[in-house]
Amino acid sequence: MSKIVNVEFKLRTYEYYKPFHITGSISESSTNIEVVIETDAGVKGYGEISPSFRVNGEKVEALYKLEEAVKESIIGMDVKEYRKIFEVLDRFFSTPSVKAGVQYAVLDAFSEEIETPVYYLLGGLKEEIETDRTVGMDTIENMVKEAKKIFSEGFNVIKIKVGENLRKDIEVVGEIAKETKGAKYIVDANMGYTPKQAIEFARVLYRRGIDISVFEQPVVASDIEGLKYIRFNSTYPVAADESARSKYDVYRLIKEEAVDFINIKLMKSGISDALAIIEMTKTANLQLMIGCMGESSLGINQSVNIALGTGAFVFHDLDSHLMLKENAFRGKFKQENAKIKIL
């Protein structure tokens, strides 16, 4: 049998190696919830909930108390029929990171029972992906130094956090580009610019001959018109992150022709919405990247399997586990510099 007999939530806190600074936020640690699902066959599946108050309005203290509600919803259900369980968990629409962690734990339990990796259950389209690494906000000197180190370690895609000081941002991206020739750049403003500032940022860097692969979430999440304005008035592809939390958000972005890229994060949408978004964006001929919040290796494992299984993503921003201090690596994947594959 494959029926769920228990669901357990466990609090886990991980410190960052150094404070992680993005627009309007500095994090020194990440407190997540480890999800353990057990079936009547004695098999256990694992997932992780990594909430973001800034993006989803979620607090870990509140999510932890949902353990009993999750138990009441899915105990007795069969992990083989995981789409039925996904439909039940979609009722937790206001707590998408709970959806993500529990839905993945269900998939993980099913995969353990049939001895087949999760990415095969989702299609097995890729054997390997390549992640970027992120340069958090700091002094110009420190950001350039970190970017050079990342590039020297074999990471060919560098994500650069900007959004608090336009002039400094232009300078730091320019200096990083000088020192890491041959790299690709994802520039993420985390909602820090006005539309006019975003256009100036793009125009100045373009005139300097600097190519940016993705200009991510330059304006506040609710400003869909602003995203569209930037998309049609700058040379760089524009991505929605905070503006694209659910499949309904993405549907609106597609209708408005507001972006070139959608950044899927499981913690924003859950796995069920993520799979729907993948199909929607394929139909609309948009491109996809996959990102993360403050997940440990256990949580990054979820996104790795989604990315490999669906093969849907142009860029993979799956590096949070490399920023966190963990006692033990818990992902079911192997990483060599930027390259990631399933064990």
**Which residues have a catalytic role annotated?**
161, 265
Sheet holding 129-130, edge to edge: 129-130, 339-342, 333-336
**Which backbone phi and psi does 107 adopt, to 5 degrees?**
-60, -40
Token duo for residue 193: 């610019």
Closest by CA to 216, choosing from 339, 317, 322, is 317
Beta partners for 9?
Answer: 35
Q: What angle do CA 317, 133, 45 make, to 5 degrees?
A: 50
Structure tokens at 155: 């990471």
Place of tokens 């919803």: 73
Nearest to 321 by CA among 104, 48, 11, 45: 48
Rounded CA-CA distance 342/60 in Å is 29
Contact predicate 64/33, CB 8 Å: yes
Q: How far is CA 18 from CA 24, 29, 50, 153, 162, in A?
A: 17, 9, 19, 18, 17
